[in-house]
Amino acid sequence: MPSTHTLAELAEAVQGKLLDPVHSEVLIDSAAGLLEATAQSITYVESPRLLSQAVASPCAAILVPEGVQCPERPAIAVRKPRLAFAKLLRLFHPPLRPTAGRHAASMVSPGAEIHPTASVGPYVIVEDGARIGEDAQLMAHVRVGRRATVGARTLLYPHVTVGCGAAIGGDCILHAHTRVAEGATLGAGVEIGARAVIEASATVAEGTKSDNHVFVGRGARVGRACILVWGTTLGEGCCLGNGVVMAAEACVDKGAVVDDLCVVGGKSVVTEGLAGGSTVSGIPARPHKDELRSHAQLNRLQGTSERLQALERQLP
C-alpha cells in the first residue's frame, strides 16, 4: 500500500508554504508528472505559463514557484519546484532495502569488517581487511579486495570489482560490471555507470556522475560534480576541475588539465590544458565557435569547388 500524507506534512517536508491553510488536511498518496497525475497525486510546475495545464489535470495539489497564486487547486509554494518534487518522489517511493546480513553463498574473510546493517548477496567475495559500511548493499558476484573500503549506504550492483586498497565513499552507486582498480578513491555521492573502469590511484571527487563505458586512467583526477557521458575517456594523469561536462565519447589526453566548468563536446579530443569555463569541440579540441566556423567554411568551399568544376567544363 502506498503511503499517504496530508498537504501540511508535504509542505513541511519540502520547506514550502501552503497557500491556503484550509487545504492542510488534503490527503496525497503519490507524486506524479502532469500527464500521469491522478485525483490523489501532487504534481509541479516550474513556470506560471504551465499552471493552466496543471489545473486542467486531475491532480489533487500542485507545487508552484514562490509568488505564483493558484486559487483553483490546493498548492504549495516553493523556491525550486523541481527539487521539491524530487524530494516528494523519494518520500512516496523510498528505495527498497534488502534484508541485512550475509547470504549463505557469500565468502567473507574473518578479517573483514562488515557493519551489521549491511547486505552481502550471494557469491560476494570480501577479502581480508576490507570494511563495509552501514546500510551498504553488495549484490551478487561483487568482489571487494584486501583493505578496500565501501562507505555507508553505498550500492554495488552485480559483478562490480573493488580493488585492493580502493576507497568508495558513502551514498555511492556503482552499476554492473564496473571495475575500480587498486588504490582508487571515489568521494561521497559518486555514481558510476555500467562497465566503467576507474584505473589504479585515480580519484573521483564527491557528487560526480558517470555514464556507462567510461574510462578514467591511472592516476587521473576528476573534480566535484562533474558529468562524464557515455564513452568518455580520461588519459593517465589528466586532471578535471569541478563541474566539468564531458559529452559522449570525448577524450582528454594523458596529463592534460581541464579547469573548472569546462564543457567538452562529443567525440572531441583535448590535447592540452583548457582555461576555466571553456566550451570546446573538435579534434584537437578548440573553442566551439571556431569549430562551427570551420565547418561552415568547409561547406562553402565545397560549393565553390563545384562551381569551379562547372566553369572548367565550359572551357574550350
**Structural domain contains residue 294:** no
Which 3 state secondary structure label does DSSP give 200? coil
d(CA 99, CA 219): 37
Amino acid making up residue 135: D
Helix (H) or strand (E) holding 7: helix 7-13
Q: Can you tell me the distance from the alpha carbon of 258 to that of 189, in angstroms, rounded to the nearest whole number?
A: 22
Q: Give me the sheet containing 113-114, strands edge to edge.
A: 113-114, 131-132, 149-150, 167-168, 185-186, 203-204, 221-222, 239-240, 257-258
Q: What are phi and psi of 90, to 5 degrees?
A: -70, -30
Domain contains 19: yes
SS3 85: helix
pLDDT of residue 274: 95
Residue 303 inside a domain? The answer is: no
Would you call 142 helix, strand, or coil by DSSP? coil
pLDDT for residue 295: 66
Within-domain flag for 133: no
Q: Which three cell numbers stand for residue 307?
A: 562551381
Q: Are 112 and 131 in contact (CB under 8 A)?
A: yes
Has residue 212 been placed in a domain?
A: no
**The C-alpha cell that represents 79 in the structure block:** 523556491
Burial call 250-274: b when 16+ CB within 10 Å, e when fewer: bbbbeebbbbbbbbbbeebbbeeeb
Q: Do residues 259 and 275 touch, judged by C-beta distance below 8 A? A: yes
DSSP for 245-284 reads: EE-TT-EE-TT-EE-TT-EE-TT-EE-S-B-TT-EEETTT
Q: What is the dihedral of CA 277, 211, 168, 174, to 10 degrees?
A: 160
Which amino acid does the sequence have at 133? Answer: G
**Residue 31 has what pLDDT?**
94
> Does residue 16 sit within a domain?
yes
Give dist(CA 10, CA 21) in Å, integer.
Answer: 13
55 located within any domain: yes
Query: d(Cα 155, Cα 140) in Å, to the nearest integer?
Result: 12
At residue 127, the pLDDT reads 98
10-residue mean pLDDT profile of the chain (316 residues): values are 84 95 94 92 93 93 94 95 94 84 96 97 98 97 98 97 98 98 98 98 98 98 98 97 97 96 96 94 85 71 72 76
Range of the domain at 80: 5-92
> Domain containing 83 — which CATH number?
3.40.1390.10
As a whole number of angstroms, the distance between CA 32 and CA 9 comes to: 17
Stated as kind and residue range, the H or E segment containing 47 is none
pLDDT at residue 1 in the model: 46
Q: How many domains does the chain have?
A: 1
pLDDT at 290: 74
CA separation for the pair 251, 173 (Å, rounded): 23
* C-alpha grid cell, residue 296: 561552415
Question: Does 18 map to a domain?
Answer: yes
pLDDT of residue 183: 97
106, 88 in Cβ contact below 8 A?
Answer: no
